Chain A
Amino acid sequence: MSAPAAAAEGARARRLTEWVYRVRELGIVVALAVLIAVTAAIEPRFIETDSLRNLALNASIFAILAVGQTLVIVTRNVDLSVGSVLCLSAYLAGDLLSGNQDLPLPVVFALGIALGAACGLFNGLLVTWGQVPALVVTLGTLYMFRGLAFLWTDGRQVNAETLPDAFLNLGSDSILGVPILVLFALVVLLVTGQWLRDYRAGRELYAIGSNPEGARLAGVRSERRVLTAFVLAGALAGLGGVLFTARFGTVDATAGFGYELTVIAAAVVGGVAIFGGTGSVYGAALGALLLGTITSSLIVLRVEAFWQQAAIGALLLVAIAFDRLVGLRVDAALRRRSARRAG
């Protein structure tokens, strides 16, 4: 095969995979639209601005966490410690601000994010330098960070009354009708999405995830990239923690308990393959939005709240089964094509 032909072939393959991404994300958007339409048909109050605003606010923090999780999962790793990291940063923000109301908010954000990044660095170093599987590392740090949070808070709790209004407003105010929390999520989403799609470091995360050995042979500095992914995931969990405090006002050592599996579920529902190499942050964020919407609509429809978890579990299973079937088809199509060209 001549070089231009190979390049054309590569471009075509890329177009095909991008097309699958689009369709995949479109699928979630359609599912979202149907869900909202059905819920609204039964209970019109569901699409009042207040209700939609709440929906978006609740999904924002999960979307930010899901973006971070995607960075890690794409490299064929996983971060189970996000809930515990979120808790540490949330308490740090609350503790700092209730101690000193005049502390500039950017400083609080910077410290919260830095604490998260430090936790991510710890995870990442153990995974890359220590060569411990990510599942083991982050299962361990899930406990360690949570334990540290309990030690640190020692039964205390941060309350909304002790927090400055300017900070709490971040969790509820809007700019031009868009809630500030949603703006945070959108900025994180667009920046990370662009970085993953068009920058060398971002593309290399996919390379590492789809073929670790191949990536290494191609000269990708895998360890450094994986470390970056963990640090970024930690930093985003830290940001999520600060926003958690702004949104809810009340923080104790149980904040973010059990978030890890919901966040992974959101990413996987959004088309991020658990074994790396595939998926986009947009899909993951849409997944978070879909999970949040299911929860809200079940509440609005007064379906017994008990069905919530079962529905989320079933949705996750449907999503991975669907991805598997589509993945098999695409693989076959790509193989057929390259066989045709070669022959």
Chain B
Amino acid sequence: MQAETATQGTPPAAAPAPPREGATRLRAALGRWEALLIGLIAITLIAGSALSEEFLTADSFTTGSLDLSEVALMALALTLVIVAAEIDLSVASMLALSSALMADLWNRGLPLELIMPICLVAGALCGAFNGFLVTRLGLPSLAVTIGTFALFRGLAYVVIGDESVTDFPATWTDRGFGNFAGTFIPNTIVLFAILAVAFAVVLHATPFGRSIYAIGANQEAAYFAGLRVKRIKLILFTLSGIVAALAGIVISLRNSTAAANVGQGFELTAITAVLLGGVSIFGGRGTILGVILALFLLGAIQKAILLSESISSYWIQIVTGALLVGSVLGPNLARRVSEMRRRHAHQHPLEEGQ
């Protein structure tokens, strides 16, 4: 949020030739952010299997990934929003509204096949509402989505109160909870994989995706280059709403419970995953692959700590928070150290000459 940090992570553009070499070498040594994440995942897998024999099993993958599936879904759409230098804190509330709507419509006797599209449309409307306030009224998305964070969660309570619905048909709840065609991979993760591919293609291989990066890197320039900045942002917020509503359907079926209090705090976990995945909070940088790896890392850490008998599960929160801060702090410090070295290298010949 601080403007002076807005340039973090980018190599100093105006630097003279020798330091530039140092910077590229440093980047080569650090490798891409994704490589670092893979390293961290490897460490977690090794540590996890040392902590518990159950860790590296298909079963622990199934349960571990199920727990994160809604957060994972929402993180995909959120990645696009954050790359465009906006933020959506209302995702978990839209998830809850979708779940509450599902419960209410089911109580009214509608079939699930009809309810689910209605929920998705409701999610799209919520997302478009965010997008409208941000793009047409020019309000900051951080403030808008703190507002709709409360508003949508509140509406979820208005719709269903503190009741919950648990009598969804088994065919659908099995789909939510079950594994894909006899494998150990949960259906929800198959859904995530399909969407992940779709989002990756959109972000990395279409003109629309390129324009998201352009907007995130420099909104003004994107506008003058002829991009329809407002419309694209509106689409992104709407997309975020639709995916959050989908996650609401998934969590209701998976737990066979639809209620207004589901998914409290999911927005922060989803944002954590996106930022940990190397997406810059200032927009313009980051990949879907990084976010997927970050989700995998978070899931592995959670599962490892839960399975170990010696480590209290409270450490999950501490490790998650530390990773999030570390993911930005690490590169910043590395850059500082290299800058300092560079300055030393510069100063010495000068001093000798004097």
Contact = CB atoms under 8 A, between A and B. Distances in A.
Interface of A: 75-78, 126-127, 130-137, 139-148, 150-151, 154, 212-213, 216, 222, 226, 258, 261, 264-265, 268, 274-275, 304-314, 316-317, 320-321, 324
Nearest to B133: A317
A interface, over-half SS:
helix
A324 B321 contact: no
B190 to A, nearest CB: 29
Interface string B130-169: 0001000111101110111111111101100110000000
A317 B2 contact: no
A133 B318 contact: no
Contact of A309 (B151, B161, B281): B151
A133 B5 contact: yes
Interface residues on B, range: 35 or more
Contacts of B317: 143-144, 146-147, 150
Interface stretch (B44-52, B107-115, B199-207, B322-330): B322-330
B270 to A, nearest CB: 11
Given A133-B282, A135-B1, A313-B154, A324 B149 contact: no
Interface of B: 1-5, 8, 87, 89, 133, 137-140, 142-144, 146-155, 157-158, 161-162, 260, 264-265, 268, 271-272, 275, 281-282, 312, 314-325, 328-329, 332-333
A321 B139 contact: yes
11 contacts: A130-B325, A131-B8, A131-B332, A132-B332, A139-B275, A143-B318, A145-B321, A154-B312, A268-B143, A317-B144, A320-B144
B139 A212 contact: no
Given A274-B142, A312-B150, A313-B149, A77 B2 contact: yes
Contact of A324 (B3, B139, B148, B322): B139
A131 B265 CA distance: 26
B316 A274 contact: no
A311 B158 CA distance: 11
Question: What 10 pairs across the A-B complex have the smallest Cβ distances?
Answer: A310-B154, A313-B151, A309-B154, A143-B321, A147-B317, A313-B150, A306-B157, A144-B321, A147-B318, A140-B325
A86 B185 CA distance: 41
B2 A133 contact: yes
Contacts of B161: 304, 306
A307 B158 CA distance: 6
Contact of A265 (B150, B321, B325, B328): B150
Contacts of A313: 147-154
A265 B264 CA distance: 18
Contact of B1 (A133, A144, A264): A133
A136 B151 contact: no
Contacts of A222: 4
A254 to B, nearest CB: 12
Given A213-B3, A226-B2, A310-B155, A140 B143 contact: no
B143 A320 contact: yes
Given A308-B154, A321-B139, A144 B318 contact: yes
Contacts of A274: 140, 142-143
A139 B275 CA distance: 11
Residue from A77, A275, A313 having most chain B Cβ neighbours under 10 A: A313
Nearest to A213: B3
A312 B152 CA distance: 11
Contacts of B275: 136, 139
Given A127-B2, A133-B2, A136-B325, A316 B146 contact: yes
Which of the listed residues A131, A141, A258, A312 has the most CB atoms from chain B within 10 Å of its own CB?
A131
A59 B314 CA distance: 31
A175 B244 CA distance: 50
B150 A147 contact: no
A264 B145 CA distance: 12
Contacts of B320: 140, 143, 147
